[in-house]
């Protein structure tokens, strides 16, 4: 930070005298990480019927080298994993029938590892392995509801408040959504908290709803017409980003700024910067 008086020549013999000015260095995403803030990642996988039955070759869940969920989990997860403090990720499924949990009806937020008391899985590679192992035991259902999943994520974020933990939800979906008003209301609430949502669109569906949640064309509004406090959603279309070769760039394009926007709104200053003043 600097302050002082300066005189500027502005042309034609005129001068501009500035009695006082300040230059403030804006903290960066890395500054907050260095000051003790940690990033934690949660993962959500879409098991709705619109993905196609895994036994069919054209299914987005068909096991094999072309499985888009598996490819997205691995490639996107490897981008985000280094930022997670302990590489233990809560992993949820939604819109499916989790028979591996003894549930025979559609559930809109369940633990992929079968344990809602501890849905964490260690490392991205183990997430992919667990996905492969449990897929035959999870039936596809619907409709596609984000609300129950975002409710669970909201509880997780609230439980970590005061612990210098910024939560990121990595949500993989084929693009359809049937509870848009509730989803917007929950994002409105989450925007006040230390969290972000990265939505990865798999397949080639109509992703207009996901793009609306992203809010790049204007602030997202809840069902009452109120604008969110800050943008917390980043949407990435997996196929297009993979083809362009800019997947990592697109996934992390907005998150650092979203972290900084939360810190600034909440009045947090990195400890290292406090000590240097």
- pLDDT computed for residue 275 by the predictor: 44
- pLDDT computed for residue 176 by the predictor: 81
Pairing type for strands 38-46 and 165-173 reads parallel
Cα distance between residue 129 and residue 231, in whole Å:
33
Q: Is-contact 111 121, C-beta < 8 A? A: no
pLDDT in tens, the chain (277 residues): 445 566 666 556 666 565 655 555 689 989 998 898 989 999 999 999 999 999 988 899 998 888 989 988 988 888 888 888 788 999 999 999 999 999 999 999 999 999 999 999 999 999 999 999 999 999 999 999 999 999 999 999 999 888 899 999 999 999 789 999 999 999 999 999 999 999 999 998 889 999 999 987 788 999 999 999 999 999 999 999 988 989 888 888 899 999 999 999 999 888 754 444 3
* Statement: the pTM of the whole predicted model exceeds 0.85: yes
- pLDDT computed for residue 99 by the predictor: 97
Q: How far apart are the first and last CA of the chain?
A: 8
Helix H or strand E segment including 17: strand 14-18
Domains of the chain by range and CATH?
A: 27-276 (3.40.50.410)
- Tokens for 212? 């609306």
What percent helix, strand, coil does the chain show, rounded to 5? 35, 25, 40
């Amino acid at each position: 930070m600097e302050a002082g008086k300066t005189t500027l020549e502005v042309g034609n013999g005129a001068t501009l005298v500035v009695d006082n000015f300040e230059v403030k260095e804006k903290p960066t995403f890395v500054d907050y990480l260095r000051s003790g803030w940690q990033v934690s990642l949660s993962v959500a996988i879409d098991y709705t019927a619109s993905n196609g039955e895994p036994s069919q070759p054209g299914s987005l869940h068909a096991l094999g080298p072309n499985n888009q969920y598996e490819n997205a989990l691995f490639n996107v997860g490897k981008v985000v994993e280094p930022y997670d403090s302990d590489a233990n990720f809560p992993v949820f499924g939604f819109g499916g029938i989790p028979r591996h949990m003894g549930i025979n009806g559609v559930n809109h937020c369940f633990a992929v590892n079968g344990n809602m008391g501890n849905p964490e899985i260690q490392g991205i590679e183990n997430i992919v392995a667990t996905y492969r192992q449990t897929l035959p035991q999870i039936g596809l259902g619907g409709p596609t509801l984000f609300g129950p999943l975002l409710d669970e994520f909201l509880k997780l974020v609230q439980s970590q408040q005061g612990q210098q933990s910024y939560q990121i939800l990595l949500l993989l979906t084929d693009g359809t959504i049937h509870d848009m008003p509730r989803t917007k209301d929950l994002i409105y609430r989450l925007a006040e908290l230390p969290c972000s949502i990265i939505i990865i669109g798999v397949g080639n569906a109509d992703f207009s709803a996901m793009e609306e949640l992203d809010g790049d064309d204007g602030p997202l509004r809840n069902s009452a017409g109120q604008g969110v406090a800050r943008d917390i959603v980043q949407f990435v279309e997996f196929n297009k980003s993979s083809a362009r070769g800019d997947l990592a760039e697109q996934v992390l394009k907005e998150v650092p700024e979203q972290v900084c926007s939360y810190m600034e709104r909440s009045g947090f200053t990195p400890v290292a910067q406090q000590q240097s003043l």
